[in-house]
Amino acid sequence: MRDNIAPITKAVIPAAGLGTRFLPATKAMPKEMLPVVDKPAIQYVVEEAAASGLDDILMIIGRNKNALANHFDRVTELEIALEKKGDHTKLSRVNHSNTLADIHFVRQGDPLGLGHAVLRSRKHIGDESFAVLLGDDLIDERDELLTPMIEESQRRQTTIIALMEVPAESIHLYGCAAVEETDDPNVVRVTGLVEKPSAEDAPSNLAIIGRYVLRPEIFDILEVTPPGKGGEIQLTDALQVLAADETSGGVYGVVFKGRRYDTGDRVDYIKSVLQLALAREDLGPELAPWVRQLAAGLPEHPLADEEKELLEEMAN
Ligand code: G1P
């Protein structure tokens, strides 16, 4: 890192989605508070940001998100009760979330899409580079992603997105990048971006996963980005403007090959919980034999016709 470049210290975490895929669990609780093993999903994301030196976090929230503010605050009654019991392990677990970073909140207002949510951070971010972390993607803390992205953005003085290879049949769930190689095998130059293309239209199988290091130029572009896929203002569309503009310094992608857990839909969420629990020293050894036994006893389960139809519909 060059000395004269300002460090990146701010992160934006959009958390205003309605979480309809998880109803009724998300009727009165934001989906970001769903527990992944024994921590709410959002805490993993805040921990990741803090581990990369981002200690000023702005969450873009919707209605019904008070639980998020409470989770990252102190709970004096609980602290006193645990102190009295002398339960210091639990006490430090309770307090960990409120020591990670300064957390600020702003409401999104109208739910007009990810690009709109990021634009809501403009006043707080000002004229600095910043990171955006999406809560549906959890990155295993043993595999680095955000720190190399920040370093790359400092080194190249440009916008960096995180990319990951996905199977062709899943690309319609993501923003997709057309890329060129660079002299670094882990970094690509992004030549084009398209939000959630069909498998036939996708320029590659490199999907945007929810980590971005953005420069303040993005805000002016977002201000004039028209609604795109799904009628929403898409961050991908604003990034495409930068990728297509040679004078902007372009967009580069760090290609992630580590472990990523998707908590965005129910099946992936259940898989994430299981994988992370199995990896834990305090839970894995007890859980693993049970999972093996369960799996051995499972009957083959070919998809019923209705399920197949539903999957096809979702893919289109
Ligand atoms: C968002 C982005 C998409 C990206 C994805 C990563 O989509 O719009 O480009 O690939 O996050 O998780 P969402 O999953 O919020 O629909």
For residue 28, give both structure tokens: 């009165």
Could you name the CATH architecture of 10-280? Alpha-Beta Complex (3.90)
pLDDT beyond 80 at 303: no
CB 287 within 8 A of CB 278: yes
pLDDT one-digit tens code per residue, 147-185:
999 999 999 999 999 999 999 999 999 999 999 999 999
pTM: 0.91
Q: What is the pLDDT of residue 2?
A: 47
* Phi/psi of residue 197, nearest 5 degrees: -75, 160
Output the CA 174–ligand 1 centroid distance in Å: 5
Distance 15 CA to ligand 1 centre (A): 13
Q: Rounded to 5 degrees, what angle do the CA atoms 204, 193, 310 make?
A: 65
Which sequence spans correspond to the domains of the chain?
10-280
Query: Given this model, what pLDDT does residue 307 score?
Result: 67
136 lines ligand 1 (CB under 6 A): yes
Closest ligand 1 atom, CA of 230?
16
Looking from the CA of residue 262, the nearest atom of ligand 1 is: 12
What CA–CA distance (Å, rounded) separates 283 from 214? 38
Give the residue, 299 or 150, on which the prediction is more confident.
Answer: 150
pLDDT at 284: 96
The average pLDDT across 288-308 equals 80
202 lines ligand 1 (CB under 6 A): no
Pairwise pLDDT comparison (47 vs 96), residue with the higher score = 47
Render pLDDT for 207-239 as a digit per residue (tens, 0 to 9): 999 999 999 999 999 999 999 999 999 999 999
Ligand 1: residue of 13, 31, 112, 114 to mutate (most ligand atoms within 8 A of CB) is 114
Asked if residue 237 has its Cβ within 6 Å of ligand 1, the reply is no
What mean pLDDT comes out for the span 274-294? 95
CA distances from 49 to 65, 140, 230 (A): 20, 12, 29
CA of 207 to the centre of ligand 1 (A): 9
3-state SS assignment for residue 217: helix
pLDDT value, residue 111: 86
Provide Rg for the chain, Cα atoms. Answer: 20
Q: Which of 44, 46, 100 is nearest to 259 (CA)?
A: 44
Which ligand 1 atom is nearest residue 207's CA?
10
Distance between Cα 315 and ligand 1 center (Å) = 15
Query: Using 50, 70 and 90 to split pLDDT, how confident is the model at 304?
Result: low
Atom of ligand 1 nearest to the CA of 174: 10
Reported as a single tens digit per residue, the pLDDT across 265-277 is 899 999 999 999 9
Q: Whose CA is nearest to atom 11 of ligand 1?
A: 210
The minimum-distance atom of ligand 1 relative to the CA of 229 is 8
**Cis before 299 (ω within 30):** no
Whether 222 contacts 118, CB under 8 Å = yes
Mean pLDDT of 77-97: 87
Q: Give the Cα separation of 166 and 208 in Å (integer).
A: 10
Listed in sequence order, the DSSP H helices in 245-283 are 266-278
Question: What is the C-alpha to C-alpha distance for residues 1 and 82, in angstroms, rounded to an integer?
Answer: 43
* Residues 193 and 234 sit within 8 Å (Cβ to Cβ): no
Secondary element (H or E) of residue 60: strand 56-61
Confidence class of residue 38 from pLDDT cuts 50, 70 and 90? very high
Nearest to 97 by CA among 138, 134, 69: 69
Residue 73 CA to ligand 1 center (angstroms) comes to: 28
Q: How far away, in angstroms, is 175 Cα from ligand 1 center? A: 6
Atom of ligand 1 nearest to the CA of 234: 8
Q: What is the C-alpha separation between 165 and 207, in angstroms, rounded?
A: 6
**Which residue would you say has higher pLDDT here, 152 or 91?**
152
Is residue 33 within 8 Å of residue 67, measured between CB atoms? yes
What's the mean pLDDT in 30-54?
95
Residue 134 Cβ < 6 Å to ligand 1: yes
Q: Which ranges constitute the DSSP H helices of 18-164?
A: 41-51, 66-71, 76-85, 88-96, 114-119, 122-125, 146-156
